[in-house]
Copies of this chain bind each other. A is one copy, B any other.
Amino acid sequence: MSISIQTGDFDLAAEMQALRTASVNAGALVSFVGLVRDMSNAGKVENILLEHYPGMSEKALQNILVEANSRWQLLGVRVIHRVGELRPNDQIVMVATASAHRADAFAACEFIMDYLKTSAPFWKREQTAGGTTWLDTKASDVARAERWIQQGDME
């Protein structure tokens, strides 16, 4: 399990190779990469600013990974979240999971993204020709995160 919060870009290839090497007897690798879209509800996106809460952001991601490990058999997990100014088509976030079986790798990767979106302290400010907007939490992300709620965990 490894987490990075960084301003620089990441190399998906190198990350996947490292995960594969570190995850002995893995049969399934799943990756998610989130990109800055060039069109938003407000129009053509010029850039976005990603802010986080240093200290809490690492802790929140760590908690999500601990929970994922308790729910699924994982051989490796890697999360990278970028902060700072990003442009359309830039990579924002990567979640990669390794498991013996694909069901666990898929579920854990989706779970981590859904919780990251709704419980890790990151903020996006979008800049369009019309000005800047701090984006709201998406209702669809909240709904997705709620699918994972089980009795007794992560209130």
Contact = CB atoms under 8 A, between A and B. Distances in A.
Nearest to A28: B34
Interface string A94-119: 00000011110110011001000000
A109 B101 CA distance: 15
Contact of A106 (B14, B102, B106): B106
Interface stretch (A1-9, A35-43, A58-66, A128-136): A35-43
B31 A35 contact: no
Contacts of A30: 30-32, 109
A12 interface: yes
Interface string A75-107: 000000000000001000000000011110110
Interface in A3-53: 11-14, 16, 20, 25-39
A15 to B, nearest CB: 10
A32 B102 contact: yes
A125 interface: no
A102 B34 contact: yes
A150 interface: no
Contacts of A105: 32
A28 B35 contact: yes
